[in-house]
Amino acid sequence: MRLVLACVPILLCAAACGRFGAMSSSDAGGPSAIAIVHDAAGRELGTLTLLESDGGLSASGVLRGLPPGTHGIHLHTTGQCSAPFATAGGHWNPTAHQHGFDNALGPHAGDLQNIVVGADSSAAVNVKTRSGSLRGSAGVLDADGSAVMVHAGPDDYRTDPSGNSGARIACGVVTAR
C-alpha cells in the first residue's frame, strides 16, 4: 500500500508533464543565460544567472572569494575572460550612451548597480540593467558574446567610460542556458 501511495505523486507529475510539456526556462520567467565568474588566478567564484525582465536584464547569484568592500559590476562587450580581462572589451553599450546612472547622457546598457562584498568575502548579487536583451541584434548573446565583469572599486555612476571603478578583478563569460 505504501508503494502505491508513494508512486501517486510521481505518476501525476508524469501525466501532467506528458500532457502539458516539461517546464522550460522561458516558462520560469523568460530566456536566461549564466556567467561562471573566475578571478585572475582562475578560481571559480560563483555563477550568476541573467534573465530578461522589465525591459532590461537582471543578474543574480552569490559570489565568494572577492575582497570585502563595494565593487562595480558591469556587462562587457566580448565573451572572453583571459586575465587581466582586457579581452572582454569595454562596457556593453549598444545604444551608444555614456556611462552611469547619474550621468545625464547615460547609462550604458551594461551598467549595473554596485555589489557589496562582506567580511566573509561573499556577495549576494541582485542587480539590473535599465535596457537590453539576451538575444537580437543588440543582445548580449551576439556573435562575439559578452562577459560579466567585477571591478576592484565602486562605480561612481557618472564618470565615463567606467565609473572610476578600477581594475578588472573577476570575469565570467555569458552563455545561453
By the 8 A CB rule, do 147 and 126 touch?
no
Query: Which residues touch 23 (CB under 8 Å, ≥6 apart)?
Result: none
Q: What is the pLDDT of residue 96?
A: 87
CATH of domain 32-176: 2.60.40.200
Domain ranges of the chain: 32-176
Query: Which residues touch 132 (CB under 8 Å, ≥6 apart)?
Result: 56, 57, 75, 92, 94, 109, 110, 138, 139, 140
pTM score, whole prediction:
0.81
* Tens of pLDDT, residue by residue, the chain (177 residues): 444 444 433 333 333 333 223 323 333 456 789 999 999 999 999 999 999 988 889 999 999 999 999 999 999 999 999 999 999 999 988 888 878 887 888 888 888 999 999 999 999 999 999 888 898 877 899 889 999 999 999 999 988 888 899 999 999 999 998
Query: Which residues touch 68 (CB under 8 Å, ≥6 apart)?
Result: 117, 118, 119, 121
